[in-house]
Amino acid sequence: MSGETAKYSTVSTFDARRGSKIGTSQGYSKFTFEDGSVILFSWTAEMTREQDGLPANHGQGIIIKGTGRFEGIVGTSAFSGKQLKPAADDPKLATVQHATITYTLQ
When mean pLDDT is compared across 19-23, 50-54, 84-88, 97-101, the lowest value belongs to: 19-23
Average pLDDT value over all residues in the chain: 90
d(CA 60, CA 41): 9
Q: In this prediction, what percent of the chain has a pLDDT beyond 90? A: 61
pLDDT (0 to 100) of residue 14: 82
Under the banding of pLDDT at 50, 70 and 90, the label for residue 99 is: confident
